[in-house]
Amino acid sequence: MFWWRTAALLAGLALLSLLLQPFFGWVATLAALVAGLLAILGYHLRNLERLGRWLADPTPEGVPESWGAWEIAYGRLYRLVRSQHKSQRMLSAALDRFVAAGEAMPEGVVVLDANDRIEWCNPRSMQHLGLDRKKDLGQHIAYLVRLPAFQQYLTAQDYGQPVILRNLTGSETTLSVQLVPFDSTRKLLLSRDITQLERVQTVHRDFVANVSHELRTPLTVVGGFIETLIDIPEMDPATRASQLNLMHEQTRRMQRLVDDLLTLSRLENGVELREDKIDPEQMVKLLASEAQGLSQGRHTVCVEVAGEGGLRGNYDELHSAFGNLVSNAVRYTPEGGEIRILWRVEDGQGVFAVRDTGIGVDAQHIPRLTERFYRVDRGRSRSTGGTGLGLAIVKHIVQRHQARLEVKSEPGSGSCFCIRFPANRMLDAREMSAAK
């Protein structure tokens, strides 16, 4: 195309000169031919100059426009630059997306070069490893993560498993850090905060140890008595009866423990909450009569109910939670003490409370009372039939009802365990009467 256009131009010029020759003679014709050639040269030089200027800032919009051979060249140049710009835009958008994804990752990511120097890192890695993106780029990772466990891991070059790093930045966090080689020279350093996971594992281990311990004692007692009964078949009836009684007591203890464990497991599995319309006054009266049954006349049991309306929640679960608080009050209040069971409505919120004049709890124990198997006085808890799981069950039930457990206690003077229900769990008198 280029050659065709150039040849056509030159041929046109030659033809024009030949046509002019008969009229103006050879000298003028040659002069016109030279002038024509100079004009063509000028056109090329001018376009070369425009091309040079455009190359200084080669945008698709800035590609010069012309005619003839240069029109073709500029047209191709325009298409080339436009497609390059398009793929550049796509590449940089892909890169932006990749960087944004890296920044948003919940795990720490550091890109290390062939010499283990930091090329890039995301905010989470800065938080995990205490890096500073402004200062630390280009620094050797071993200068910044100085724990011996990490240094050994880095030099051993066996990156199949992660390394566990504890208390790296002075905080009590535990990190799982793994190096992943890629693109033949670089490495990715991935860090994950496993503090919570470790805590859960510890709680789980302690729980299994506690359950085993709790079951072992009654099992040993029962096993011992059974052996005696086998060894001495002619045992006198009074001793036999007393041993059978003790065995019965121990099996009841195991039964209570297993029942509480099953309740706890059901609650922790988050079974759906069936909701009933509960009449607090009726519930409080029922709890008071149960408290009297447990107390066997050793305590004064009082009831206080103030406020209209009802409560939306699971009857069985709330009966069990309130019942646990009442039974604790009876068990941890010496003879002659008072147990007060209260229900009132405060600022639209429902408040259930059990107040006793018992042995109380020292402030340091209060935050841990709802932990499984946490007891202030192990002996007293066991001797009164406690499993150590009562308040853990209460905590779960309270949470399932979006309520709050508040504990106030004074050693020697008594305790108040209070459950505060949110306003949206309260039912007015009209809604309650519709339930009847």
Q: Which is nearer to ligand ADP, 54 or 373 (CB)?
A: 373
Nearer to ligand ADP, 187 or 372 (CB): 372
Phi, psi of 287 (to 5 degrees): -65, -40
| Closer residue to ligand ADP (CB): 29 or 381 | 381
**Bridge partners for 355 per DSSP:** 340, 416
User: Is 388 a binder of ligand ADP (CB under 6 A)?
Assistant: yes
Which residue's CB is nearer to ligand ADP, number 168 or number 391?
A: 391
- 3-32 binders of ligand ADP (CB under 6 A): none
H/E segment holding residue 120? strand 118-121
> Scanning residues 194 to 213, which ones bind ligand ADP (CB under 6 A)?
none
Query: Which residues, including other chains, have CB under 8 Å from residue 68's CB and lie 6 or more apart?
Result: 5, 6, 9, 43
- In the region spanning residues 391 to 420, those forming contacts with ligand ADP, defined by CB under 6 A, are 391-392, 415
Check residue 174 for interaction with ligand ADP (CB under 6 A): no
Under the binding rule (CB under 6 A), the answer on residue 376 touching ligand ADP is: yes
Q: Backbone dihedral region of 143: left (phi > 0), alpha (psi from -120 to 50 degrees) or beta?
A: alpha
Nearest by Cα to 133 from 148, 142, 146, 144: 144
Starting from the edge strand earliest in sequence, which strands make up the sheet with 426-427, in order? 276-278, 310-313, 426-427
Given candidates 375, 404, 420, 425, which one binds ligand ADP under the rule CB under 6 A? Answer: 375
Among 124, 357, 390, 396, binds ligand ADP (CB under 6 A): 390
Residue numbers 316-345 binding ligand ADP by CB under 6 A: 324, 328-329, 332
- Using the rule CB under 6 A, give the single segment among 99-107, 112-120, 151-159, 388-396 that binds ligand ADP: 388-396
Site map 345..364 versus ligand ADP, x via CB under 6 A:
-----------x-xxxx---
Q: Pick the stretch among 36-44, 101-109, 223-231, 387-395 that binds ligand ADP (CB under 6 A).
A: 387-395
Query: Which residue is associated with the tokens 């997306």?
Result: 97
Which one of 280, 310, 337, 386 is in contact with ligand ADP (CB under 6 A)? 386
Rounded Cα–Cα distance for residues 100 and 109 (Å):
12
Tell me the site size for ligand ADP, rule CB under 6 A: 23
Q: In 325-392, which ranges are E strands?
A: 338-346, 349-356
Q: Please list, in sequence order, all residues whose beta carbon lies within 8 angstroms of the beta carbon of residue 273, skipping any fewer than 6 positions away.
A: 313, 314, 317, 400, 401
Burial of 49 (0-12, 13-18, 19+ CB in 10 A): exposed
| Residue 280 engages ligand ADP in binding (rule: CB under 6 A) | no
Footprint of ligand ADP on 88-147 (CB under 6 A): none
Measured between alpha carbons, how far is 327 from 43 in angstroms, rounded to an integer?
106
Where along the sequence are the contacts to ligand ADP (CB under 6 A)?
324, 328-329, 332, 356, 358-361, 369, 374-377, 381, 386-392, 415
